Amino acid sequence: MNAAIDYASNNRRTLLPPRSTERFARPRLLELPRPLGELVHAHDGRELRLRGIEPGDVAALKRQFARLSPEDIRRRFLHSMSELPEPMAQRLCRIDPAVETAFVLMDETVKPAELRCVGRIFVDHNTNSAEFSVLVEPNWTRQGLGALLMQRLVDDCRRRGLSEIWGYVLLENRPMLQLCKELGFKRRPSPDEPGTTQIALQL
Ligand SMILES: CC(C)(COP(=O)(O)OP(=O)(O)OC[C@H]1O[C@@H](n2cnc3c(N)ncnc32)[C@H](O)[C@@H]1OP(=O)(O)O)[C@@H](O)C(=O)NCCC(=O)NCCS
């Protein structure tokens, strides 16, 4: 019996199987829709989209780097850098989800959309822990965004079943030390990295 027969009596319609050339053809690579992420609001009401970082964020990441002060850069990377080298930018945007999570907060009120904040972890399976870093660009600080990103990173570490999230922070970086203290992180000395301390949260 022909499978495409329209059984008018009960309105059922069975679809024909695809032609043999299609049935055994290589599957076409579908363009997956970009994850929409989630809209979040800064304390002052400005809207940003929270989503995972994507390979296409390289240009936005480099533009953000150009807006940072030398102090922000030193606090984030723990040393001075005059520019973000292309291979490093590529690497930071093309993450390995098995061991990395990176969230960005995108400002879509401007064109092109600008990357305002980024928070990431790198997992070390040997120690069942993850090292974090976070960066909020000037003009967007003191808006609750650093705390939001840190909380999402902590949640992600818990989802992964890790026992600790930790990071290096410069001893003079009062904002970050204060933020981490409020989130329950504890300080411990880092003798091999002078001028820095390690902060960690047991999960
Ligand atoms: C540190 C940093 C991430 C904070 O981000 P942020 O978005 O401004 O932080 P939040 O607005 O979420 O602040 C949360 C709390 O942290 C503390 N805090 C943040 N900035 C502070 C500051 N300048 N002085 C004192 N406390 C501060 C406050 O307790 C604050 O709560 P409150 O605003 O209700 O008082 C941001 O300043 C930054 O990116 N600095 C440069 C890079 C860096 O230092 N990264 C950390 C090392 S990886």
Asked if 167 and 189 count as a contact pair (C-beta separation under 8 A), the reply is no
At 25-71, the pLDDT tens digits run: 554 544 444 568 999 999 999 999 999 999 999 999 999 999 999 99
* pLDDT reported for residue 8: 41
Q: How far is the CA of 149 from the centre of ligand 1 (A)?
A: 11
At 167-189, the pLDDT tens digits run: 999 999 999 999 999 999 999 98
Nearest residue to 112 (alpha-carbon basis) of 56, 164, 187, 68 = 56
At 87-138, the pLDDT tens digits run: 999 999 999 999 999 999 999 999 999 999 999 999 999 999 999 999 999 9
Per-residue pLDDT at 9 exceeds 70:
no
* pLDDT reported for residue 15: 61
* pLDDT reported for residue 193: 81
How sure is the predictor about 190, in pLDDT bands with cuts at 50, 70 and 90?
confident
Query: Rounded to whole angstroms, how far apart are CA atoms 196 and 177?
Result: 11
* pLDDT reported for residue 159: 97
| CA dihedral over 34, 37, 41, 45, signed as positive or negative | positive
Q: How far is the CA of 98 from the centre of ligand 1 (A)?
A: 28
The CATH homologous superfamily to which domain 36-202 belongs is Gcn5-related N-acetyltransferase (GNAT) (3.40.630.30)
Q: How far is the CA of 174 from the centre of ligand 1 (A)?
A: 8
Query: Rounded to whole angstroms, how far apart are CA atoms 108 and 105?
Result: 9
Per-residue pLDDT at 16 exceeds 80:
no
Query: Rounded to whole angstroms, how far apart are CA atoms 145 and 40?
Result: 9
Query: Rounded to whole angstroms, how far apart are CA atoms 9 and 156?
Result: 54
Asked if 99 and 119 count as a contact pair (C-beta separation under 8 A), the reply is no
Q: Which residues pair with 105 in a beta bridge?
A: 50, 117
* pLDDT reported for residue 192: 81
Alpha carbon nearest to ligand 1 atom 17, residue: 179
Per-residue pLDDT at 4 exceeds 60:
no
Q: Which of 75, 132, 172, 179 to mutate to test the pocket of ligand 1 (most atoms within 8 A of CB)?
A: 179
Pocket of ligand 1 (CB under 6 A): 72, 75-76, 133-136, 141-147, 167, 169, 173-176, 178-179, 182
Per-residue pLDDT at 1 exceeds 80:
no
Q: How far is the CA of 176 from the centre of ligand 1 (A)?
A: 5
Q: To the nearest whole percent, how much of the chain has pLDDT over 70?
A: 83
Between 7 and 179, name the one with better pLDDT: 179
Listing DSSP states for the chain in one string gives: --TT-EETTTTEEPPPPPPHHHHTSPPPPP-PPPP--EEEE-TTS-EEEEEE--GGGHHHHHHHHHHS-HHHHHHHHSS--SS--HHHHHHHHS--TTTEEEEEEEETTSSS-EEEEEEEEEEETTTTEEEEEEEE-TTSTTSSHHHHHHHHHHHHHHHTT-SEEEEEEETT-HHHHHHHHHTT-EEEE-TTSTTEEEEEEE-
